[in-house]
Amino acid sequence: MDEMMVGRLESAKVRYTELQEEMANPVVLSNPDLARKYGQELAEWEEIVTHYDRYLATEEEWQTARELARDDDPETREWALSEVSRLKEELEQLESQLTRLLTPTDPNDQKNVIVEIRGGAGGEEAALFAASLFRMYVRYAERQGWRTEVLSSSPTDIGGYKEVVFMVEGRGAYSRLKFESGVHRVQRVPVTEAQGRIHTSTVTVAVLPEAEETDVVINPDELRIDTMRASGAGGQHVNKTESAVRITHLPTNIVVYCQDEKSQLKNREKAMRVLRARLKDLYESEAHNAVQEERRSQVGTGDRSERIRTYNFPQGRVTDHRVGLTIHRIDAVMDGDLDELISALIAQEEEERLKEA
């Protein structure tokens, strides 16, 4: 391990100790926002410090084994040499893990996410597949122990979704779901197809990190809030009470509509959560001078030629075109078994970051 890396690890231990002291500070304990901020940073440094302590302990064992490898006793030398080899391999693995942990990560990785799914090319079939993807992500969230909550939806008469927006709450949700942004292409025989022909349709997915109220400052004077009667499926309150809420952010013309709750107040709260996430995404894109490019890279136009992943039902396969991975378990994937796909994408991202580090 080179001196620069050792220096960064020693600094990490110092910062970890400082954060432990801060977390015991009454001022921090009395401030929930500050306590959460320090707690999240403490958890991040803890993994690095734990691995570094393991590295130092293993290195000490390795040095001891090297000394014993020069012992006069043949059996002791033989045992020590095998330990030297084993411990050397363990040190290399730990150093690799530490290099990965020290590589700068996306600051949004530990945030909750807002997922927006919209039918693209394909009409009713696209809306039906949007519903299938929604169920896939809900099942994946359940496997991870995360919580999901629908924020807004526009269902179709035959069980699909023109659009569904939902929250996923859980540590590290963005770090794994961010790779789902883009165009998802499906090839299958629609239930609406009488001739049994295979159709190709698309659905767009956008994954946005949740924005805290402190992340995005919204001027109330820049909002136009309209209330109206809900429409579509939704129970007895539909078309009887003005529970639906539409919020327009005038400077950006971003519009958010929520009608799923019976309470106007709850719909307004949900709409504001979506608006903050969209504004955060917009402002961060502007900071990189790529507003349009960022949005286009997230969801594209929904055209069939644009896709990050293809779900081919007749052949029972799912192909992720970014990493060239094909899985012949489409039923399992649609039931939320996404780990193989997501892990491959994470590995690719980590490899690229290591090259840049």
> pLDDT digits over 38-95, tens only?
888 898 899 899 999 999 999 999 999 999 999 989 999 999 999 999 999 999 999 9
Please count the other Cβ atoms lying within 10 Å of the Cβ belonging to residue 62.
Answer: 17
The model's pTM: 0.67
Residue 271 contacts residue 247 (beta carbons within 8 Å): yes
pLDDT at 110: 82
Residue 39 to residue 26: CA distance in whole angstroms: 14
In whole numbers, what is the pLDDT of the chain averaged over residues?
Answer: 86
CA dihedral 195, 126, 296, 165 (to 10 degrees): -170
For the beta sheet containing 317-320, the strands, ordered from the edge strand earlier in sequence to the opposite edge, are 147-155, 161-169, 113-119, 199-209, 182-188, 309-312, 317-320, 325-327
Question: What does the pLDDT average to over 251-276?
Answer: 88
Residue 118 to residue 219: CA distance in whole angstroms: 29
Which tokens go with 222? 């820049």
> pLDDT digits over 168-221, tens only?
999 889 999 999 999 999 999 887 676 778 889 999 999 998 887 767 888 899
Find the distance separating the first CA and the last CA of the chain, reported in whole Å.
16
Residue 129 contacts residue 302 (beta carbons within 8 Å): no
CB hemisphere CA count around 120 (13 angstroms): 24
The residue type of 161 is Y
120 backbone dihedrals φ, ψ, rounded to 5°: -110, -125
Q: Which of 54-68, 91-105, 118-132 has the lowest mean pLDDT?
A: 91-105
pLDDT at 229: 78
* Residues 29, 277, 32: CA angle, nearest 5 degrees: 5
Question: What does the pLDDT average to over 5-16?
Answer: 91
Domains, the chain, in order of start with CATH, read 3-102 (1.20.58), 113-214+302-356 (3.30.70.1660), 220-287 (3.30.160.20)
* Helix (H) or strand (E) segment spanning residue 135: helix 124-144
Which of 209-218, 274-283, 284-293 is modeled with the greatest confidence? 274-283
Residue 244 contacts residue 268 (beta carbons within 8 Å): no
Report percent pLDDT > 90 for the chain: 51
Confidence category of residue 237, pLDDT binned at 50, 70, 90: very low
Residue 126's closest CA among 54, 196, 52, 202?
202
